[in-house]
Amino acid sequence: MKPIDRLRELLAVGVLVLFLVSILIADKRTFAWPAVTWPMYSGRYLSYPEDTYTKKLYRAITADPEDSFWVRPNQLWGADRYSVSYDLMDRALDTERSDAAEHKLAAIDQIRYMFPRAEVVEVEIWELTWAVDLDSVPAIEFDEPIERLLHASFSYESLGEVRWEDRQ
């Protein structure tokens, strides 16, 4: 027998022994594969999303209602600062705040600034709920919410303010 063949035999036996030993000593909680443990996958139980998903969104109403559109919070300040948009939305909806009208104006101004070609005349804040279907792709049909709840609707005129362009 050649030395190289003998080395291959020893290597195969060594791998088999390592495989069997890893099966015997591996902890069942973190055990994923016989020779490898992956606590990230096996140490946690799978969690599935809820049957429904709810989100608050702005709705920009334009002079031509056919051109009205939804505005996601990350479209106003970017994905890394979407919480700023939610804070603005919550403050605009808070009737206890004395400066709620100023936050509504700021929301209108920011939407008009980010979408300069749209002639936005009114802004609405909606709470939308979608059904989550894990068997379909995408799992949420954005254009087909199962529930819509209007929280607020405001414009420059309703707030007694002049338009953004006129304040410049």
Output the tens digit of pLDDT for each of the chain's 168 residues: 688 888 889 899 998 888 777 766 665 555 545 445 555 555 556 677 889 999 999 999 998 888 899 998 888 887 778 788 888 888 888 888 888 888 888 888 899 999 988 888 999 999 999 999 988 888 899 889 999 999 999 888 888 765 555 555
- pLDDT the model gives residue 7: 87
Given a contact cutoff of 8 angstroms between Cβ atoms, the answer to whether 58 and 123 are in contact is: yes
Cβ atoms within 10 A of the Cβ of 105, count?
Answer: 19
Residue 130 confidence (pLDDT): 94
pTM (global) more than 0.85: no
pLDDT score, position 84: 86
Question: In three state form, how does the secondary structure of the chain look?
Answer: CCHHHHHHHHHHHHHHHHHHHHHHHCCCCCECCCCCECHHHHCCCCCCCCCEEEEEEEEEEECCHHHCEEECCHHHHCHHHHHHHHHHHHHHHCCCCCCHHHHHHHHHHHHHHHCCCCCEEEEEEEEEEEECCCCCCCCCCCCCCCEEEEEEEECCCCCCCCCHHHHC
Residue 164: predicted pLDDT: 52
The pLDDT mean for the chain works out to: 82
Q: Would you state the pLDDT for residue 72?
A: 87
Strand partners, 152: 125
What pLDDT score does 65 carry?
83
pLDDT in tens, 66-114: 889 999 888 888 777 878 888 888 888 888 888 888 888 888 889 999 9
- Looking at residue 35, its pLDDT comes to 47
Given this model, what pLDDT does residue 135 score? 87
Separation of alpha carbons 138 and 126, rounded Å: 22
